[in-house]
Amino acid sequence: MGLGGCIILIAVGAILTFATDWHAKGVNLDVVGLILMAVGIIGVAVFTSVLRRRRVVPGATIVEEEHRDHLT
């Protein structure tokens, strides 16, 4: 799930919690909305942390050194 999916979860959760007056038998839609918003916020946090790790620094060069142990 990408960033767009997380934002949709937050939006749907907010709509269920704050903008509806529906009553379903056996289901509390306010709690369902809060759960969706929490999952969306956690998803955004995870997505941004993964994106931060993948970020490439411009102009950076990767230097690989080869270590050899010489037996003398």
Round the average pLDDT of the chain to a whole number and report it. Answer: 84
Higher-pLDDT residue of 65 and 13 is: 13
Give one DSSP letter per residue of the chain, joined into a string.
Answer: --HHHHHHHHHHHHIIIII----BTTB-HHHHHHHHHHHHHHHHHHHHHHHHHHPPPTT---------PPP-
| pLDDT (mean) for 21-36 | 92
User: 0.75 exceeded by the pTM?
Assistant: no
Mean pLDDT of 50-67: 69
Give 17 or 67, the one with higher predicted confidence.
17
